[in-house]
Chain A
Amino acid sequence: MSSHESTHPDAPVVYEQFEDIGQQQETYVLGMWSFLVNETMFFAPLFFVYGLYTWKHHADFYLAHALLDWRIGGINTFILLMSSFAVALSVHYAQKGRTRAQLNCLWFTIACAAAFIWIKLQFEWIPKISHGVFPNPEFIQNYPHYAMEHGVPAADPYKARLYYSLYFAITGLHALHVAIGIIVFLALIYLIKKKSSLITDYIPTEMVGLYWHFVDLVWIFLYPLFYLMPRP
């Protein structure tokens, strides 16, 4: 897309469909929020379905949830909160034009995101999947053994499978968003370093930041719902 020639070499690029930089920045922020509204409605039915079945099979879901470790979930929560803080800082530095500090914050965020996914895989998904605790038909045989090994009482395997289908669906979708976040952050850093004409103001950082905070928001609800279920 071609752009208007800027009069000042450092002035942000205004795309041809916009009148001025103010309109462009407001439009981009509004567009990002429309996308996040859409994302909210994308996650909402999953949370609703989870809530509904927790209501129906509360006791079994409670027993099934004992295989999740709240400490690991807690560490991941802490990591995500830190990354969110780092992104907020990077927007702050981008607004002030301190590119060096901004990039450091973004690298820290990527490190947090990678750590999140590594912990999730290493301590949660891989041990479960390798023992067959994955919501497929074999789950019904595998789950009681796995629960016994871990010294927790087993729930009705069919209901536990429902719990773990929702667990894998929601955390999987969330982890997918984290992975997309890593790619987007890397692209952002690359473009900033290349001094690309796509990034001439703080708005791209702000938009990626909004996306990342949304990923954090999902986890803020996910953590108590899955890991800290109260005993019925």
Chain B
Amino acid sequence: MSATVVDKTQEEGLHEPHPKKNYLTADHTIKSWLLTVDHKRIAVLYLISTTFFFFLGSIAAAFIRAELTNPMGTLLTSETYNKMFSAHGIIMVFFFLVAVIPGVLGNFLLPIMVGARDLAFPRLNLLSWYVFMAGGTCFVIALMMGGVDAGWTFYTPLSSLYSNTPITLALVGVFFAGFASIFTGLNFIATVHKMRAPGMTWFRMPLFVWGQYATGVIMILGTPVIAITLLMVAIERMFKIGIFSPELGGDPVLFQHLFWFYSHPAVYIMLLPGMAVISELMACFSRRPVFGYKFVAFSSIGIAALSFLVWGHHMFVSSQSVLQGIVFSLISFLVAVPSAIKVFNWALTMWKGSVHFTTPMIYALGFLGLFVVGGLTGLYLAAIDTDVHLTGTYFVVAHFHYVMVGGTIMAFLGGLHFWWPKMFGRMYSEFWGKLSAIIVFVGFNFTFFPQFILGYLGMPRRYHYYYFAPEWQVYHVLSSAGSTVLGIGFLMPAFYLTASLINGKRAGRNPWGAKGLEWEHADSPPVTLNFDKPVVVTGPVYDYDAEKDSEMIRAGQRLVDMVKGEEEK
């Protein structure tokens, strides 16, 4: 049951003496890459840089897991361990998760999907990558100066008064990364509003675009708040003023308010693009339009709006007022509604569909399972009474890894495998792809499911020893062993995807038989201005026909049986 339908005209066109120039072959100099304003090249730049940061963050994670195999915590000192989990959190959140899907897939696909020749502000888009790299460089320098130890949350007064590590430099790095994401969001908003091709109405847009749009709205409304808050921490650190420090008349909880005012919506900056990818994968590989399209589209906007009203559920034990805790707990439950709308609609998309188990689809199904676990455990943490017990334990760690890794990274890898032929014009090995998807899923569950149990038993997060409860070692060893499997699963795509660039089969325009402007109207890889002729959209989105697809598969199967029968005779 393969979805690979080779486009004959494309295949023949490749043997012409002068193949058509695409965005990759348009120019070969280093300068043409570093000064490019082509959204597709900027996406490739983002792909390279976020992969580097993911690798860096994973090394820190490896040290954390190695340390925790032993209850006595003998591998690292307490200070080094603090720096390790801080580096892991800061890199993964600010330099990988926030940037990866908008920066890579969003930049590459959003203009093509709405039928535009480029994003609205191409030079701003290039600036966004440079600002991102400037931020990354600041943080890497901070790491080389010994690393920071305040955790990714930079809670005051530890970060503002007591820590002796280069926090200011790290704050500047995060500040820059924030502005990179603001520029990306601004570009997405202007593009979606004003750059749609004729006939591309709001309800003909792929759900990927809806998701990126909602993300862009959160980026411009939320990110400046964290930028200014971190600036205040930096000022407090430099001049020893008392905005957030209690003995100088300030209030440390105020920092937490301002921090989570951004950082809870930031969870959806990371997750909404992932959900956007999943909608595309589900429709394509079930050969059905996404069930309840409008509900899924508006649930993205609903999540974006609600995400700004629930930040207090991170602060139930922080001495915020009890009344506000209760109110935030109630509103937090509401987020389950749009999230559940999405999950049920994806499940119903597959129902009566013609499901193709390709690599991207396996990632998407993995996402579905992991996101359900991550989302439902979120309800335990949204409830104020259970959260008082579970907050600050490994239950929280497991919960947000299920959402962030199981949600965002699974969706990113699924999307990367789905659009890889479009981005680079080559097919990767389907065997290795499926194998890595399964290894990632299994390894992920081995790593993080034991952490739910650990958290329930009371293992606090950010501790590097647990000699007081050596019976937890079995779960930690299980988790560390699983993380090794997970690491192998993450490393495999790096090899077979790179190999596909050299010896992969030419993909042709539409290897998956998918619908959408990027598959039907653009080459693989696309030309510099995306389309050969202006696009006019006339049909609905997700114009799939599952019954016809199944019928064709059955007919093909009959043909194969017939040929086999002939041979046996």
Question: What residues of chain A have their CB less than 8 Å away from a CB belonging to chain B?
Answer: 1, 16-19, 23, 26-27, 30-31, 34-35, 37-39, 41-46, 49, 52-53, 56-57, 134-137, 158-159, 161-162, 165-166, 169
Contacts and interface: CB of A to CB of B under 8 A. Distances in A.
Contact of B186 (A35, A41, A169): A35
A56 B250 CA distance: 10
Contact of B220 (A27, A37, A169): A37
Contacts of B254: 49, 52
Contacts of A19: 534
B243 A162 contact: yes
Interface stretch (B116-124, B388-396, B398-406): B116-124
Interface in B221-247: 221-225, 227-229, 232, 235-236, 239-243
B190 interface: yes
Contacts of B195: 17-18, 23, 27
A161 B248 contact: yes
A162 B116 contact: no
B240 A23 contact: no
Interface in B146-193: 182, 185-187, 189-190, 193
> For the complex, would chain B's binding face be called helix, strand, loop or mixed by DSSP majority?
helix
- The 3 nearest A-B residue pairs measured at CB: A42-B224, A165-B241, A17-B118
A158 B249 contact: yes
B527 interface: no
A216 B122 CA distance: 29
Contact of A45 (B117, B194, B228, B239): B228
B120 A17 contact: yes
Given A23-B195, A45-B225, A45-B229, 20 more contacts: A17-B117, A30-B193, A31-B124, A31-B186, A31-B189, A34-B190, A34-B220, A37-B221, A41-B224, A45-B261, A49-B254, A53-B249, A56-B249, A134-B239, A158-B248, A162-B242, A162-B243, A162-B250, A165-B236, A165-B242
A17 B116 contact: yes
Nearest to A50: B243
Nearest to B219: A38
A1 B125 CA distance: 13
28 contacts: A16-B529, A17-B111, A17-B117, A17-B118, A17-B195, A18-B195, A19-B534, A27-B190, A27-B194, A30-B193, A34-B185, A34-B190, A35-B186, A38-B182, A38-B220, A38-B221, A43-B228, A45-B229, A45-B258, A49-B258, A135-B239, A135-B241, A159-B249, A161-B242, A162-B250, A165-B239, A165-B241, A166-B243
Among A19, A56, A134, which residue has the most Cβ atoms of chain B within 10 A?
Answer: A19
Contacts of A26: 194
Contact of B190 (A30, A134, A158): A30
Contacts of A18: 195
Given A35-B186, A166-B243, A16 B235 contact: no
B336 interface: no
A161 B37 contact: no
